[in-house]
Structure 1
Amino acid sequence: MFEIVITLLTCIMLCVTLVPLLPSNHWLSRVWEFPRVQIAVLTVSLAIASFFLSSPSMAIVLVSINGLLSVYQIAWIFPYTRLYPIQVKKAVAPYQQSIKIMTSNVLMTNHSADKLIKLIRLHQPDVVVTLETDQWWEDALQPIHSEYPHRVNSPLDNLYGMHLYSKFVLEDVQLLDLIEEGIPSIHCYLVLKNNIKVKCHFLHPAPPSPTENTTSTPRDQELLVIAKQVAGQTEPIIVTGDLNDVAWSPTTRAFRRISGLKDPRMGRGMFNTFHASYPIMRWPLDHIFHSEHFELGTIQRMPSIDSDHFPLLSELVYVNK
Structure 2
Amino acid sequence: MEISEIIMLIVCGIFLIPSLASATRFDQWWIRAFDFPRIQISILITLVIIAAIIVFDFSAVIHYIAIALLIIGLIFQLHKIYPYTWFAEKEVMKFEDGDPTDNISILVSNVLTPNKDYHKLLEIVKRRQPDVLLTLESDKKWEDALQELEEDYKYTVKVPLDNLYGMHLYSKLKLEETEIRYLVRNDIPSIHGFVRLDDNTRVRIHCMHPRPPSPSEADTSTNRDAELLMLGRDVREQDDSVLVFGDLNDVAWSRTTRLFQQMSGLLDPRIGRGFFNTFHADYRFFRWPLDHVFHSNDFTLIDIAREKHIGSDHFPMYIKLNFERKAELEQNKPEAEEEEKEWAQEKIDDAEPREKGV
TM-score (normalised: structure 1): 0.97
Equivalence map 1:66-145=2 (5 Å):
66-92=70-96, 93-145=98-150
Give the equivalent residue in structure 2 for 1:159: 164
Inter-partner Cα distance in structure 2 for 1:62 and 1:49:
12
Give the equivalent residue in structure 2 for 1:38: 40
Give the equivalent residue in structure 1 for 2:52: 50
The structure-2 alpha-carbon separation of the partners of 1:173 and 1:54, relative to structure 1 and needing over 3 Å to count, comes to closer
Stretches of structure 1 that go unaligned for 5 or more consecutive residues are: none
Task: Give the total of aligned pairs.
Answer: 321
Deviation at 1:168, TM superposition (A): 0.3
Equivalence map 1:223-234=2 (5 Å):
223-234=228-239
* Paired amino acid for 2:166: G
Contact 2:81 2:253 in 1 (8 A): yes
Stretches of structure 2 that go unaligned for 5 or more consecutive residues are: 327-358
* Paired amino acid for 2:306: R
TM-score (normalised: structure 2): 0.87
Match of 1:206 among 187, 203, 211: 211
Deviations 1:82-126 (A, max 9, x none): 111000000014101111100000000111100000010011111
Inter-partner Cα distance in structure 2 for 1:167 and 1:110:
25
Equivalence map 1:155-304=2 (5 Å):
155-304=160-309
What SS class does the counterpart of residue 160 from structure 1 fall into? coil
Deviation at 1:20, TM superposition (A): 2.4
What SS class does the counterpart of residue 151 from structure 2 fall into? coil
Deviations 1:117-163 (A, max 9, x none): 00100111110000000000000111211111110000000000000
Deviation at 1:243, TM superposition (A): 0.1
Give the equivalent residue in structure 1 for 2:346: none
What SS class does the counterpart of residue 80 from structure 2 fall into? helix
What SS class does the counterpart of residue 182 from structure 1 fall into? coil
- Identity among equivalent positions (%) equals 44
Deviation at 1:178, TM superposition (A): 0.9
* Paired amino acid for 1:277: D
What SS class does the counterpart of residue 274 from structure 1 fall into? coil
Contact 2:102 2:199 in 1 (8 A): no
* Paired amino acid for 1:165: Y
Inter-partner Cα distance in structure 2 for 1:320 and 1:70:
40
Deviation at 1:2, TM superposition (A): 4.0
Contact 1:274 1:283 in 2 (8 A): yes
Inter-partner Cα distance in structure 2 for 1:37 and 1:48:
17
Deviation at 1:59, TM superposition (A): 4.2
Give the CA RMSD over aligned residues: 1.2
* Paired amino acid for 2:88: Y
Deviations 1:26-62 (A, max 9, x none): 1011111111111111111111222212421354333
* Paired amino acid for 1:201: H
Deviations 1:251-309 (A, max 9, x none): 01110111000000001111000000111011100011100110001111000001000
Give the equivalent residue in structure 1 for 2:21: 19
What SS class does the counterpart of residue 102 from structure 1 fall into? strand
Inter-partner Cα distance in structure 1 for 2:27 and 2:200:
43
> Which deviates more, 86-95 or 46-55?
46-55
Contact 1:48 1:63 in 2 (8 A): no
Inter-partner Cα distance in structure 2 for 1:129 and 1:275:
19
Give the equivalent residue in structure 2 for 1:63: 67
* Paired amino acid for 1:312: M
Runs of 4+ in 1 over 4 A off after TM superposition: none
Contact 1:108 1:132 in 2 (8 A): yes
Deviations 1:3-38 (A, max 9, x none): 344322211111122122344211011111111111
Inter-partner Cα distance in structure 2 for 1:54 and 1:13:
17
The structure-2 alpha-carbon separation of the partners of 1:54 and 1:221, relative to structure 1 and needing over 3 Å to count, comes to closer
Give the equivalent residue in structure 2 for 1:147: 152
